[in-house]
Chain A
């Protein structure tokens, strides 16, 4: 591999890498604002300028490719002086908003100011301010904090494939806004907040909920569709505050769609059923685990049973269900369900040209690999249904008229169609493996403790198998 010299160290790089990436490979951080590895390079902010031997002026590291034998100085006096003046320039119009700014704690401007700026301001002039603008349900805009790096504009046109952010006017009056002040339309709007290096674009859903430094970050995989985008769950005190994309160059790069980003809310919904329960004509009645398992067994005893598993289960859970079926309900048929109209991976196709796919559950491919077929219609001889799902799979329609037992995450109104419900875990509360549409195995990780009385699926099946009842295990 070719080598260049950065700060006196020999650094290997792959041809075509710019100086920022080459330096990062050697653990040297060059401060930057406008460069983002997932977007085109515009070299606008000048923060990354470094001194290169035999070049008369400073060069922007983001737009300069590393070359054999190049000698780069990222800490020389000239470089540092430039960083100081760029910081002063950017902060000349920046409000002192950090105490109320949601970006604070993960803000590039804050970090770079701390590391490379001056602690004192020389300006006395009034600061430039912009009018507020509603940008739709996802993003809260505050342009007073904008440093005009144009990352958002580039994200729109290059990744989200919709030109909705623009820069109006020139020079000091430049204003980043949406075309005609319209609300954002893309399904990927959350990423605007992730890539914005300041607090100009922040997520409304997360607004003022938590300071970011309190959050514990759990790496996991999104269960929103069969793409399997990598993401992080940010939780504190057993509550999820947000989900953000986790870099994976093979799958989602740096992005996440809004559906996947905000999917976690069902986990903490008020009306989620957290206790074993049975339905009576008067409504739901909470039971204890032992008696509700007896009731569930009794409800299915002597019936011709079909087992429906949601394609939001993990491989481990699905394997446990298959084993359970072999041992206790070997006559039963087993099918998977998840997205209306998607019966197998053949029906699963990209929904747009970015990330989203048509199967709205994460493990369709995995269940198919285990030999489970898609559920299309209730056959006439089935008299009992055991429905097992996580929280994401859409319950199949037209399953009325048979006895039903549900295991998994159900909201209270959904629960009414079952005779017995045994509460299970959602994707944020369990560990496991899922296979995405290409067959890539990925781990989902537990971020929360099981809520209420909910239990893991293998534990529920074990209790079911081990409990002797007067009806006799089927």
Chain B
């Protein structure tokens, strides 16, 4: 059986407890270091390994990608679409390289599968747009994130 302790009048009011609680709140509000930031004026620096928006690497102005199709093969969201072609300076290259970021789950498996170090995930995380966007090869080559 639970024994109820008899409380005095002041204790029954709970006023002291409320003031105690408020003091903790005030202490945290006024003196503790802040954990939030003033986005978008302030921005956080993410780790280099953060998996954000993709980009395509190029070496000496030539895209690294050889359209081997390993990234569309491994991609669990099936959001990469590549069409391969041939040109004089590169036996096999992607004529089309498109990523539908709305389907992407940012698992980073494409980056892991790539034998040419061509597809990378940058640390850009602001990807909301007001229209549905499929990023094409040109965009992916130009967007470099923080790299």
Contact = CB atoms under 8 A, between A and B. Distances in A.
A209 B67 CA distance: 11
A99 B73 contact: no
Contacts of B84: 208-209
B103 interface: no
B68 interface: yes
Nearest to A142: B91
Contacts of A120: none
B102 to A, nearest CB: 20
Given A99-B66, A99-B115, A100-B66, A208 B73 contact: no
A424 B145 CA distance: 53
B86 interface: yes
Contact of A211 (B73, B86, B115): B73
Chain B interface residue count: which class? Answer: 10 to 19
A208 B83 CA distance: 8
Interface string A209-225: 10101100000000000
A156 B36 CA distance: 74
Contacts of B115: 98-99
B15 to A, nearest CB: 72
A209 B92 CA distance: 11
A209 B73 CA distance: 15
B70 A99 contact: yes
Contacts of A214: 69, 73
Given A98-B115, A99-B92, A99-B116, 20 more contacts: A98-B68, A99-B66, A99-B68, A99-B70, A99-B115, A100-B66, A100-B68, A100-B91, A100-B92, A104-B68, A207-B86, A208-B67, A208-B84, A208-B86, A208-B92, A209-B84, A211-B69, A211-B73, A213-B73, A214-B69
Interface of A: 98-100, 104, 207-209, 211, 213-214
Interface of B: 66-70, 73, 84-86, 91-92, 115-116
10 contacts: A99-B68, A99-B92, A100-B91, A208-B67, A208-B85, A208-B92, A209-B84, A211-B69, A211-B73, A214-B69
